[in-house]
């Protein structure tokens, strides 16, 4: 029988600092790709709701493809395909970290584009017109009428996406990024303690994602009460 408490008592002083150090890389990947995904999502949400047919088609194409592909496949395509398609260029800067961030952001951008679009479309045009008729300036209408409502609609799904993203960073280990999961694998197989190490890693991921999911629940609760 596996004596987990004893295994942890013996090894935790070696395992935990190392795993926590690499969980910083995980957080870094999640943070940078989140920002990038928000930017991509906003851009394509605007394209998706624009009057120009070409822009709309472009946005729909991107969203369908990025949402239809498994994240692992996106990561493999982003990291391995461009250097082979354009071997003449300089790919020195294109590290596994960069590839991981771009891959996750391209995937997340498609999710967020749909979230932002639903936020934009949920607000009736009449809201702005009513605010302007009441004598508000366009800036006031934006600040007091449009944005508060849009944020309420958009924030919970964005936070849910952030939770998913945090968990998806584990997939970056598959293209060789040295983050939490990759380090866990090397410790687990070097020390022949897969169960103990992977459970510990699961606990670390949980500790990172659970506060976020509590925050989502609080937001959903607050927004539904004040409505």
Partner 1 sequence: MGFWQVLEEKGWYFFVTLLGGWPETLLVAAGALIYALLFGLIIALFRISRWRLLRYPAIAYVEVFRGTPALVQLFVIYFGLPDIGFEPTPLQAAIVGLGMNGAAYLSEVYRAGIQSIHRGQLEAALSLGMTPRRALQHIVLPQAIRTMLPPITNFAIVLLKDTSIVFVVGVVEVMALARNLVTETLQSAVIYLMAGALYLCVTIPMARLAMHLERQRQVWH
Question: Which residues form the interface with partner 1 (CB under 8 A)?
Answer: 1-2, 64-65, 67-74, 76-77, 80-81, 84-85, 167-171, 173-174, 181, 184-185, 188, 193-196, 198-199, 201-202, 205-206, 209-210, 213
Q: Which is nearer to partner 1, 1 or 225 (CB)?
A: 1
> In terms of CB distance, is 98 or 213 closer to partner 1?
213
- 69 versus 142: smaller Cβ distance to partner 1: 69
The nearest distance, CB 217 to partner 1, in angstroms, is 11
What single string gives the DSSP state of each residue in 194-215?
Answer: HHHHHHHHHHHHHHHHHHHHHH
- Pick 107 or 152: Cβ nearer partner 1: 107
DSSP state string for 126-180: HHHHHHHHTT--HHHIIIIIIHHHHHHHHHHHHHHHHHHHHHHGGGGGGGT--SH
**Closest-CA residue to 66 (of 116, 7, 109):** 109
Residue 80 or 144: which CB sits closer to partner 1? 80
Find the shortest distance in angstroms from Cβ 137 to partner 1.
Answer: 37
Question: Least distance in Å: CB of 1 to partner 1?
Answer: 7
Long-range (24+ apart) CB contacts under 8 A made by 78-85 are 78/102, 78/103, 78/106, 79/103, 79/175, 80/175
Q: How far apart are CA 151 and CA 183, in angstroms?
A: 37
Would you say 84 and 40 are in contact if contact means Cβ atoms under 8 Å apart? no
Rounded least distance, CB 53 to partner 1, Å: 21
The two tokens of residue 142 are 């934006």
Closest contact distance (angstroms) between CB of 86 and partner 1 is 10
């Amino acid at each position: 029988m596996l004596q987990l408490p004893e295994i942890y008592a013996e090894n935790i002083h070696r395992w935990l600092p190392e795993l926590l150090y690499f969980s910083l890389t995980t957080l870094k990947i999640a943070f940078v790709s989140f920002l990038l995904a928000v930017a991509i999502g906003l851009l394509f949400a605007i394209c998706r709701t624009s009057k120009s047919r070409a822009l709309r088609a472009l946005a729909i194409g991107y969203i369908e493809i990025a949402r239809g592909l498994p994240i692992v496949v996106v990561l493999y395509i982003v990291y391995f395909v461009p250097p082979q398609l354009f071997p003449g260029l300089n790919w020195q800067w294109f590290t596994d970290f960069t590839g991981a961030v771009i891959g996750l952001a391209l995937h997340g951008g498609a999710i967020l584009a749909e979230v932002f679009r639903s936020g934009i479309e949920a607000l009736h045009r009449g809201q702005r017109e009513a605010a302007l008729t009441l004598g508000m300036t366009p800036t006031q209408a934006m600040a007091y009428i449009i944005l508060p409502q849009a944020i309420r609609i958009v924030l919970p799904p964005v936070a849910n996406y952030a939770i998913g993203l945090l968990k998806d960073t584990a997939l970056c280990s598959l293209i060789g990024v040295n983050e939490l999961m990759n380090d866990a694998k090397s410790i687990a197989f070097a020390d022949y303690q897969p169960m103990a190490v992977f459970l510990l890693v699961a606990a670390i991921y949980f500790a990172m994602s659970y506060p976020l999911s509590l925050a989502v629940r609080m937001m959903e609760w607050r927004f539904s009460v004040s409505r």
